[in-house]
């Protein structure tokens, strides 16, 4: 007899790839996921899973390198404004089509934040891609979504670990995944992260050189040098804002978990990768599976572990 699970997938940018590994670990052990709620990257991964197309999404993201990710960002480095992700969501729409949440194979909730009314919005019907996009619109970094007269941004502003939508599922277990946990990295991942950081820095320099060359065509050498400085500055500001958002998610997430304690909280280290490192999919998927296995090993023995809190 299968063990039913309502799964809450938290926010955390690129660390959200770990959700794929968690789902793989649960299915490999015979758990049946009957309900999914997600915030930000949790909404994207959860939405693909509920649509039965997680394998297709996994194959795509696993092939993305640093330069591939940069090319997909609609970032005008020579002007201000939030990043747009039209190319990313065009690819997602190609995979999902005109998929409606109410037509998915299992109940799904994507959590976003309504800025005007200062409240959570639960997408439980309507276009899946719109729900994903609203749930993952990080304030000041990604462009917000305007829907039905509302300006919607990342659900993590109010609820980084959306456990509440899982309560009504009446599953045997509620399992939540926190991507902003204050736990140490596994030793193996420390070494892999250092290698990835060096590779990304090299790729970034290649990309910045391309920006400089394009600026040279437009303005001449002096202005191209200024363009490189502006590119470096803008990327630096994105990093600072993303770290500020991470601090907020971590603090608010602890409050939400205390309010709606799940049966098992799987904890992914906040230092496992930065939230914008979307070229590290394979590494994060593997980490998610390994840490989920460790958490489930203890959970099935009625214990907690470093990466898994048994809360009930």
- Identify each DSSP E strand in the chain by its residue range: 3-9, 31-39, 108-114, 119-123, 145-147, 150-154, 173-181, 264-269, 308-310
HEC per residue, 41-86: HHHHHHHHHHCCCHHHHHHHHHCCCHHHHHHHCECCCCCCCCEECH
Catalytic residue check, 40:
yes
Catalytic-role residue among 11, 135, 147, 154: 154
Catalytic-role residue among 37, 40, 270, 272: 40
Question: Nearest-CA neighbor of 73 among 58, 61, 87, 94?
Answer: 87
Catalytic residue check, 274:
no
What is the rounded CA–CA span in Å between residue 74 and residue 116? 26
Question: Nearest-CA neighbor of 307 among 265, 271, 275, 270?
Answer: 265
Pairing mode, if any, of strands 173-181 and 264-269?
parallel
Q: At residue 119, what are phi and psi to the nearest 5 degrees?
A: -150, 160
SS3 content of the chain, % helix, strand, coil (to 5): 55, 20, 30
φ/ψ region of 40 (left if φ > 0, alpha if ψ in -120 to 50, else beta) reads: left
Task: Check if the beta carbon of residue 12 is closer than 8 Å to that of residue 270.
Answer: yes
Q: At residue 272, what are phi and psi to the nearest 5 degrees?
A: -65, -35
**Active-site residue set:** 40, 154
């Amino acid at each position: 007899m299968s063990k039913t699970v309502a799964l809450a997938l938290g926010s955390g940018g690129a660390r959200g790839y770990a959700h794929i590994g968690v789902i793989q670990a649960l299915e490999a052990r015979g758990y049946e996921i009957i309900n999914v709620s997600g915030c930000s990257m949790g909404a994207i991964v959860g939405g693909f899973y509920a649509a039965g197309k997680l394998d297709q999404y996994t194959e795509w993201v696993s092939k993305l390198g640093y330069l591939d990710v940069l090319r997909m960002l609609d970032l005008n480095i020579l002007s201000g404004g939030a990043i747009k992700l039209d190319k990313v969501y065009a690819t997602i729409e190609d995979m999902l089509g005109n998929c409606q949440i109410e037509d998915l194979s299992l109940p799904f909730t994507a959590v976003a934040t309504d800025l005007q009314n200062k409240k959570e919005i639960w997408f439980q019907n309507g276009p899946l891609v719109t729900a994903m996009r609203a749930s993952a619109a990080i304030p000041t970094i990604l462009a917000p979504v305007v829907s039905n007269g509302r300006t919607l941004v990342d659900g993590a502003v109010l609820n980084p670990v959306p456990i509440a939508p899982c309560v009504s599922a009446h599953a045997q277990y509620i399992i939540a995944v926190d991507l902003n946990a204050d736990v140490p990295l596994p030793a193996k991942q420390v070494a892999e992260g250092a290698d990835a950081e060096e590779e990304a820095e090299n790729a970034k320099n290649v990309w910045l050189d391309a920006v400089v060359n394009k600026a040279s065509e437009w303005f001449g050498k002096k202005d191209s040098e200024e363009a490189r400085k502006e590119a470096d500055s803008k990327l630096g500001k994105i990093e600072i804002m993303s770290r500020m958002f991470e601090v907020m998610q971590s603090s608010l997430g602890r409050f939400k978990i205390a309010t709606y304690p799940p049966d098992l909280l799987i904890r992914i280290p906040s230092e496992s990768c930065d939230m914008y490192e979307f070229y590290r999919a394979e590494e994060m998927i593997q980490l998610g599976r390994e840490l989920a296995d460790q958490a489930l090993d203890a959970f099935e023995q009625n214990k907690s572990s470093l990466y898994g809190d048994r809360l009930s």
